[in-house]
Amino acid sequence: MRTFTLGRSQEEAISLFPDRSIREVQLGDQKICVARDGESFFAFERLCPHRLANLKEGQLNSFQEVICPLHHYRFELNSGRVASGDCRDLKVYKAELDESGLKISI
Ligand code: FES
């Protein structure tokens, strides 16, 4: 497992991710998605486990779930559990915001 830090401070990390946005980021040789909901950050695999739609085009709902843009399956961002749909769970990664930035372990 490797830990990457986005931004050089808490403020800079927050400024990289507008509230309720989903962004694709490159960490080492992997591209993943990072989403922000207020003070909460979530990191998860980029491609939907159902038919590989890019989840950066998805939407966040008010239950901290991501909704896939293709068939609208929903995944809980804390656990990755598929909340609506018929496929495996979404792979999620630890994302922690502290004074030195947003730390993501993949
Ligand atoms: S590709 Fe994501 S729900 Fe089908």
Q: Specify the CATH number for 3-105; select among 3.40.50.280, 2.102.10.10, 1.10.340.30, 3.40.50.1010.
A: 2.102.10.10
**pLDDT one-digit tens code per residue, 18-53:** 999 999 999 999 999 999 999 899 999 999 999 999
Give CA–CA dist 75/89, Å, rounded.
Answer: 7
* Protein residue closest via CA to atom 1 of ligand 1: 51
* Domains of the chain by residue range: 3-105
Q: Which residues fall within 8 angstroms of residue 9, CB to CB, at 6 or more apart? A: 99, 100, 101
**pLDDT one-digit tens code per residue, 50-81:** 999 999 999 999 999 999 999 999 999 999 99
Please give the average per-residue pLDDT across 1-16, as a whole number: 96
Strand partners, 78: none
Q: Which of 67, 70, 84 to mutate for ligand 1's pocket (most ligand atoms within 8 Å of CB)?
A: 70
- How much distance in Å is there from the Cα of 26 to the middle of ligand 1? 22
